[in-house]
Amino acid sequence: THITHTNMHVMPSPPSPDASGSAFLDWASSAGVATSAAFLVEPTATEGFGAVAGERVSVGDILVTVPRASALAVFSLEEEMRQTTTSLAQSHALAYAACRVAAAPRGREPWVALWPVTPEGTWGVEGDSWRAFDGDAFRELRRLHEEGEAAARAAHEKLPPDISWERFKLGVSIVTSRAADLVVSGESQPVLLPVIDLCNHRRGGEHNCAIVFEDDAQTTLTSPRHARTPVYLT
């Protein structure tokens, strides 16, 4: 199954002190994530920190393979955390899990260090900032965001008191901008996949790679690209 995203593209967070991404990829390797020699993690010329093709690749080349055991997903949560999320939508449950993992990475520190520290996309737009957006498309975007925010606030009310709204909003932003959808037992569930979540995004169906879910979650490039081309999903 090929999975695509429909999130608004935004600039990723600033690079970590380890701008080459080598420490992160070393950690990912220890977690069972396999990456092609063509797959690099570094600052891009126009899109901030993300994934790039380090050399020319061909259609069908496997860039990354992520075991499901390395993913952050609702089905992989500890029992206590899963009990907290039973009444939540899948995306809100994963956002809560992201909040917990960000506060206590427990071995995921190199991955969490690359997560955004402020909300991305429409989750980072507040108050008068919306005035910068004009036109029917943006008005519809704001309407959809307001619906999503109302649902997220309702979910937040069900969470333990140590999860502030600002903290949960960041978790929702991480999920909406970085998660992929995985079909588990016939049900679509959002998952955060280390390394794959560094791929940037496009609207309108434009992409040069796709995620294929089999026994492992893997991303394959679907069109030839030149060296130092950002790897992106739609």
Higher pLDDT pick, 13 / 227: 227
> The tokens of 37 are what?
């020699």
Helix pair angle (136-156, 90-103), 10° resolution: 70
Residue 14 has pLDDT above 60, yes or no: no
Identify the pLDDT of residue 169: 97
* pLDDT attached to residue 44: 64
Token pair in block for residue 198? 């560094």
pLDDT recorded at residue 231:
76
Res. 103: pLDDT tops 90: yes
Record the tokens describing residue 174, joined without a space: 């991480």
Q: 15 falls in which pLDDT band (50, 70, 90)?
A: very low
Q: What is the pLDDT of residue 211?
A: 83
- pTM here? 0.82
Contact predicate 5/234, CB 8 Å? yes
Q: Which residues of 39-77 are buried (b: 16+ CB within 10 A; e: fewer)?
A: bbbbbbeebebbbbbbeebeeebbbbbbbbebbbbbeeb
Instruction: Look up residue 35 and give its amino acid.
Output: T
Which residues have CB under 8 Å from 18's CB, separation 6+?
24
Residue keyed to tokens 């999920």: 175
Tell me what the mean pLDDT of segment 71-95 comes to: 88
In this predicted structure, which of 121-125, 161-165, 208-212, 228-232 has the lowest mean pLDDT? 228-232
Counting every residue written for the chain, the total comes to 234
The mean pLDDT value of the chain amounts to 80
Q: According to the model, what pLDDT value does residue 98 have?
A: 95
Task: Tell whether the model's pLDDT for residue 20 goes beyond 50.
Answer: no
Would you say 212 and 2 are in contact if contact means Cβ atoms under 8 Å apart?
yes
Residue range 113-139: mean pLDDT, rounded: 84
Question: If residue 23 lies in a helix (H) or strand (E), which one and from where to where?
Answer: helix 22-30
pLDDT at 43 over 60: yes
pLDDT at 202: 64
5: tokens are: 């995203």
Q: How does DSSP assign 174-198, residue by residue?
A: HHHHH-EEEEETTEEEEEE-TTGGG
pLDDT digits (tens, 9 = 90+) for 134-185: 777 788 888 999 999 999 999 999 999 999 999 999 999 999 989 988 877 7
